[in-house]
Amino acid sequence: MAVTSKKRVSIRSRLTAIRRTRQMVSDQIDIIDRAAPDRDAPPGEMVQALTSLVKLLESLQRLERCHRNERAQRTVERKERLDDTGLRDELARRIDALCAARDAGGGPEVAEPQGDRADQR
């Protein structure tokens, strides 16, 4: 099963959102760093900046966890498809070997149906 364009768009948009959120986190940290030496800054602004940073970090964590989970799910699905293909190939190989042995006359012996033992006596 190929990755559909809808999934690609979803993955691309999530990666874009992760990059954008990381940049916002970096920008927020810069704002806090620049404001930290300013002793005249009201404490409420610093609290607001830190609260905003925490919210951005939580958002980033959710986005990254969602992305990791989707990648892990796609990896499992890909492995299952490969396992299924391997099993089908092995089964086809065994069937071919049995058919070739049967056609060559050296196939597995099939027991003749036996009648009722009372009839043989």
pTM exceeding 0.75: no
Tell whether the torsion through CA atoms of 4, 7, 13 and 17 is positive or negative. Answer: negative
Beta carbons of 14 and 67 less than 8 angstroms apart: yes
pLDDT tens-digit map of 50-100: 888 888 888 888 888 888 888 888 899 999 999 999 999 999 999 999 999
Q: Is the pLDDT of residue 104 over 80?
A: yes
Residue reference for tokens 């760093």: 33
Between helix 5-35 and helix 43-103 the angle, nearest 10°, is 150
Q: Is the pLDDT of residue 118 over 60?
A: no
DSSP string, 46-96: HHHHHHHHHHHHHHHHHHHHHHHHHHHHHHHHHHHHHHHHHHHHHHHHHHH
Q: Is the pLDDT of residue 25 over 60?
A: yes
**The token pair that represents 82 in the structure block:** 């490969």
Residue 67 burial by Cβ neighbours in a 10 Å radius (0-12, 13-18, 19+): middle
Q: Is the pLDDT of residue 11 over 80?
A: no
d(CA 103, CA 114) in angstroms, rounded, equals 24
Mean pLDDT (the chain, rounded): 79
3-state secondary structure (DSSP) of residue 2: coil
